[in-house]
C-alpha cells in the first residue's frame, strides 16, 4: 500500500479510522494526553543502530510532512552510532538532533514528546518503563521484555502513565494480515486446531553484525550491558549482541515474536497456558563463541484448544512455511502480504472453498504512521501494550523451558510463569 498521505488526510484518518486491537482500549488518561492536531511531535531515538536509523528515523522522515513529526534527540551507548544518527537527522529534518549521553538524559529533556526504542532486546523493558515514568509516549521494538518481572514493571508503568505505546510487531498492520483476521472472524475456515511456522536459514543472522571497529573509548559499556554481564569491554560482544545469550535469547524472542503476535492477532488468541522448548548450538561453533541456539523448536498450548509451533534451523535453509490449520482448510501465510487459503486437509470441508483463494486485503495505516496518528487522536494503536504483553509472555515461557528442560505454565491471574 502507498504510505504517501497529505497532512489533512493524515488528520482525517486519525479521526475516522477504525482500530482493530486485540486487547482492552488504552485508559482514558491516555486520550487526555494526546497531542494536538497542530503540535509538532518531537521524537527522541533510543538506539541508533540499523533498526533505529534505517527503520525508525526513516519512518519519521517519510511521514514528516503529513504527520508533522521530527527527530530532535538521539542516544546510543556507542558514540559513533549516535553521532551518525545526529548527522542523518540534520540531513532529513534540517537541524542536527541533540546527542544525549544516556537514555535518562534524553527522557529528562522537556523538548521530547515521544521516544522510539530500538535498543537491544535486554534494554527494551527498562527503556519503556523509564519512558512511561517520564511521561513520554513510546514506540517499542519487540520483544517488549525478556523477563516477567521487567515485563510487569514496564506494562504497569505505561498503563499508570497513560502513554500511547505501539509495539514493533508490524505484521499486524499489513493489509493481508487484517484481511486474514477478517476471514477467520467470518468463520470461513472454521475452528483452528494448529498454527505453525518453520523459519530456517543457512547462517545465523547475528554473524552479519560483527564489527571490528568498535573501540573501548567510544562505547559506554555499562550503559549497554545494564548489569547483565560482569565481562570487561568486548567489541564483538557489543556489535554482535544478537548472538550472545546475555542480551538476546535467539530465534524465538527475535523472529518467533513476530509469528506469535501475528497468530494472536489473526486467530484472536491471548496468552498460552503451557510451553515446551528444545534447542541448542548444533552447527555454528567457531572462534566467536556465540551462545545463542542455532536450532530451536517451541510448542505452545492455548486455552482456546489451539497448538502453536515455531521452529528455526540454521543448519539448513530449506522448508520455510507459515500456516494456520483449521477444520475447513488451511490459511497459508508464506507469500508475504498475500495470504491464500484452500480447503486442503480440512476435516469438515463442505465445498464452500474451491481452489486457491487470495485473502482480500483490508487497508489501514502503516505501522509507524498508525502510531503518529494515535499520538494525536488518543486511539489504541494496532499493536498496543496488551499485544506486547502477550507475545512477551509466550517468548519468556519458551526461553524458560529451553533453559530448564521443563514445561512452563502461565498463571494469568497471578501473572507468573511456573515450571512442571
Q: What is the pTM of this model?
A: 0.92
Any idea what DSSP says for residue 122? Answer: G
Q: Tell me, what's the pLDDT at 12?
A: 38
Class of residue 112 by CB neighbours under 10 A (exposed 0-12, middle 13-18, buried 19+): buried
Set out the domains of the chain in order of their start, with CATH numbers. Answer: 7-170+366-380 (3.40.50.720), 173-363+394-419 (3.30.360.10)
CA–CA separation, 76 vs 91, rounded Å?
A: 19
**CB atoms closer than 10 angstroms to residue 245:** 15
Q: Where are the alpha helices (DSSP H) in 320-413?
A: 367-377, 385-404
Lookup: cell for 260: 506469535
DSSP bridge pairs for 312: 296
Q: Cell match 486446531: residue?
A: 193
CA–CA separation, 326 vs 74, rounded Å?
A: 46
Lookup: cell for 216: 573501548
- Which of 153, 182, 420 minimizes the C-alpha distance to 301? 420
How crowded is the C-beta side of 208, counted as CA atoms within 13 Å?
5
Q: Tell me, what's the pLDDT at 19?
A: 31
Q: What is the DSSP string of 26-85?
A: PPHHHHHTPPPTTSPEEEEEE--SHHIIIIIIHHHHHTHHHHTEEEEEEE-SBHHHHHHH
Give me the tens of pLDDT residue by residue for the chain, a chain 420 residues long. 333 334 334 333 333 333 333 333 333 344 335 676 668 999 999 999 999 999 999 999 999 999 999 999 999 999 999 999 999 999 999 998 999 999 999 999 999 999 999 999 999 999 999 999 999 999 999 999 999 999 999 999 999 999 999 999 999 999 999 999 999 999 999 999 999 999 999 999 999 999 888 999 999 999 999 999 999 999 999 999 999 999 999 999 999 999 999 999 999 999 999 999 999 999 999 999 999 999 999 999 999 999 999 999 999 999 999 999 999 999 999 987 899 999 999 999 999 999 999 999 999 999 999 999 999 999 999 999 999 999 999 999 999 999 999 999 999 999 999 999
Strand 192-198 versus strand 306-313 pairing type? parallel
CA–CA separation, 267 vs 165, rounded Å?
A: 22
Amino acid at each position: 500500500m502507498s504510505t504517501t498521505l497529505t497532512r489533512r488526510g493524515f488528520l482525517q484518518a486519525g479521526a475516522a479510522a477504525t482500530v482493530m486491537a486485540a486487547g482492552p482500549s488504552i485508559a482514558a488518561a491516555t486520550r487526555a494526553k494526546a497531542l494536538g492536531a497542530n503540535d509538532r511531535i518531537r521524537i527522541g531515538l533510543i538506539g541508533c543502530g540499523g533498526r533505529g536509523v534505517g527503520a525508525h528515523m526513516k519512518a519519521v522522515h517519510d511521514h514528516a510532512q503529513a504527520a508533522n513529526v521530527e527527530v530532535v534527540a538521539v542516544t546510543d551507548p556507542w558514540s559513533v552510532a549516535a553521532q551518525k544518527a545526529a548527522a542523518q537527522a540534520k540531513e532529513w529534518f534540517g537541524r542536527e538532533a541533540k546527542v544525549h549521553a544516556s537514555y535518562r538524559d534524553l527522557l529528562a529533556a522537556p523538548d521530547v514528546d515521544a521516544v522510539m526504542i530500538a535498543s537491544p532486546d535486554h534494554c527494551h523493558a527498562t527503556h519503556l518503563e523509564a519512558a512511561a515514568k517520564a511521561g513520554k509516549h513510546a514506540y517499542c521494538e519487540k520483544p517488549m521484555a525478556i523477563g516477567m518481572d521487567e515485563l510487569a514493571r514496564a506494562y504497569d508503568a505505561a498503563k499508570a502513565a497513560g502513554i500511547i505505546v505501539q509495539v514493533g510487531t508490524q505484521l499486524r498492520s499489513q493489509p493481508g494480515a487484517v484481511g486474514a483476521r477478517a476471514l477467520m472472524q467470518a468463520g470461513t475456515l472454521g475452528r483452528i486446531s494448529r498454527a505453525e511456522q518453520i523459519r530456517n536459514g543457512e547462517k545465523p543472522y547475528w554473524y552479519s553484525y560483527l564489527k571490528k571497529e568498535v573501540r573501548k573509548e567510544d562505547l559506554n559499556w555499562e550503559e549497554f550491558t545494564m548489569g547483565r554481564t560482569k565481562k570487561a569491554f568486548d567489541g564483538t560482544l557489543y556489535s554482535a549482541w544478537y548472538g550472545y545469550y546475555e542480551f538476546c535469547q535467539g530465534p524465538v524472542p527475535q523472529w518467533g515474536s513476530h509469528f506469535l503476535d501475528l497468530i494472536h492477532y489473526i486467530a484472536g488468541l491471548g496468552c498460552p497456558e503451557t510451553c515446551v522448548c528444545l534447542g541448542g548450538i548444533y552447527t555454528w561453533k567457531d572462534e566467536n563463541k556465540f551462545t545463542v541456539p542455532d536450532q530451536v523448536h517451541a510448542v505452545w498450548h492455548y486455552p482456546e484448544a489451539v497448538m502453536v509451533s515455531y521452529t528455526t534451523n540454521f543448519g539448513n535453509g530449506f522448508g520455510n512455511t507459515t500456516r494456520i490449520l483449521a477444520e475447513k482448510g488451511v490459511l497459508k501465510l508464506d507469500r508475504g502480504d498475500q495470504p491464500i487459503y484452500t480447503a486442503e486437509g480440512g476435516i469438515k470441508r463442505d465445498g464452500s472453498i474451491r481452489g486457491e483463494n487470495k485473502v482480500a486485503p483490508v487497508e489501514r495505516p502503516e505501522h509507524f504512521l498508525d502510531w503518529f496518528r494515535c499520538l494525536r487522536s488518543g486511539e489504541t494503536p494496532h499493536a498496543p501494550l496488551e499485544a506486547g504483553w502477550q507475545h512477551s509472555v509466550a517468548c519468556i515461557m519458551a526461553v524458560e523451558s529451553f533453559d530448564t528442560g521443563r514445561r512452563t505454565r502461565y498463571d494469568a491471574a497471578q501473572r507468573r510463569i511456573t515450571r512442571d
